Amino acid sequence: MADFVDGTAFNHEQGNRARKLFAAVVLAALDDAIADDKKYGNGPEQIARWARSRDGREVLSCAGIDPNERVVKGLMEFVGKGVRTSVALSREESERRHAAEAAAAEDAKRAA
């Protein structure tokens, strides 16, 4: 019984590692599309083409992301903003975004 539990835990951990690896591939694809957008102006189209491709759908699925049209639109929107994934995922960027949202909400209260 203990061997079964150990094996199950090991398999679960291996699955999580594989999911993280594929998530890193998705982040790299986003960064590549952002670079294309800055250089050629076609980043959102590039990420959409990749996400709709057979390989893209497979990578998204392995990363634990359902490769539907809503996800494709979200990826396109993210690339359109032009913020690299490392910056978007950083704590400083998150704090800056929350501060900006709070300031906008405060301004809206004053205007009302």
Mean pLDDT of 37-55: 97
DSSP conformational letter for 16: H
Q: Whole-model pTM?
A: 0.76
Predicted confidence at residue 1, as pLDDT, reads 55
In this predicted model, what pLDDT tens digit does every residue of 47-73 receive, in sequence order?
A: 999 999 999 999 999 999 999 999 999
- Polymer length of the chain: 112
Structure token digits, residue 46? 């590039």
* Share above pLDDT 70 across residues of the chain, in percent, rounded to a whole number: 94
Name the residue among 1, 31, 38, 41 with its Cα closest to residue 50: 31
Residue with tokens 């209260």: 109
